[in-house]
C-alpha cells in the first residue's frame, strides 16, 4: 500500500493515470481541469469526453491521455460544497474509490489525484484532505492493491496539512 503527498503540477507527473477533477458534463473547465485539458490537447480530449458524458457526481470514467505525460486520464466529478447536502462526503469519497477501481480494472500501477472539490467547488480543505486520504487508504487496504497513489497539491499549506493527516 503506497500513498504519497507531493507538491507538484499533476500534469507533469510520470504516472499511468492522472485524475481530472471534472464537472458532470466533462467539459473543459478552469483550475486543474483546464490544466489537464491543455496538457492533453483540448480538442481531442473534449471529443473523447463528449462520448462519455454526462456522469453523476462521484462517478469516474477513463480516456486516453493523448498529449499528456500520463497514458490515461480518469475523470471524476466531485460535489460542489453545500452544507445542506448530506451525501456530499460519500460522493467525494466515491470520486477516489471509483477512480481507483478504474485504475485497477485497467491494470494501472500508478495514479495521481488532485485534491478533488477543494478548489472552486468550495469543499472545506481539511475535510476534503481527510476524505481523500481515508478513501485512498481504505481502497488500497480492502483491495490489497499494489497501485502507487499520489496526491498532488500546488501549495505548501495544503501539503503540510495533508502530510500531517497521512502519518
What are the structural domain ranges in the chain? 2-166
Which residue, chain included where needed, has cell 447536502?
Answer: 85
Please write the tens of the pLDDT for every residue from 79-100.
999 999 999 999 999 999 999 9
Class of domain 2-166: alpha beta
CA distance 14 to 27: 24
3-state SS, 72-123, equals: EEEEEECCCCCCCCCCHHHHHHHHHHHHHHHHHHCCCCEEEECCCCCCCCCC
pTM: 0.95
CA distance 140 to 76: 18
Please write the tens of the pLDDT for every residue from 60-79.
999 999 999 999 999 999 99
Amino acid at each position: 500500500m503506497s500513498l504519497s503527498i507531493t507538491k507538484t503540477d499533476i500534469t507533469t507527473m510520470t504516472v499511468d493515470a492522472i485524475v481530472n477533477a471534472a464537472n458532470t458534463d466533462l467539459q473543459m473547465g478552469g483550475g486543474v481541469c483546464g490544466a489537464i485539458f491543455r496538457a492533453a490537447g483540448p480538442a481531442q480530449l473534449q471529443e473523447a469526453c463528449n462520448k462519455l458524458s454526462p456522469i453523476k457526481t462521484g462517478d469516474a470514467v477513463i480516456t486516453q491521455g493523448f498529449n499528456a505525460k500520463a497514458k490515461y486520464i480518469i475523470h471524476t466529478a466531485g460535489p460542489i460544497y453545500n452544507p445542506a447536502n448530506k451525501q456530499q462526503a460519500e460522493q467525494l469519497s466515491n470520486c477516489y474509490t471509483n477512480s481507483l477501481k478504474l485504475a485497477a480494472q485497467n491494470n494501472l500501477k500508478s495514479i495521481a489525484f488532485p485534491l478533488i472539490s477543494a478548489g472552486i467547488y468550495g469543499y472545506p480543505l481539511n475535510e476534503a484532505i481527510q476524505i481523500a486520504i481515508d478513501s485512498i487508504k481504505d481502497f488500497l487496504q480492502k483491495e490489497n492493491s499494489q497501485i502507487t497513489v499520489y496526491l498532488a497539491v500546488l501549495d505548501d499549506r495544503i501539503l503540510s496539512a495533508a502530510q500531517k493527516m497521512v502519518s
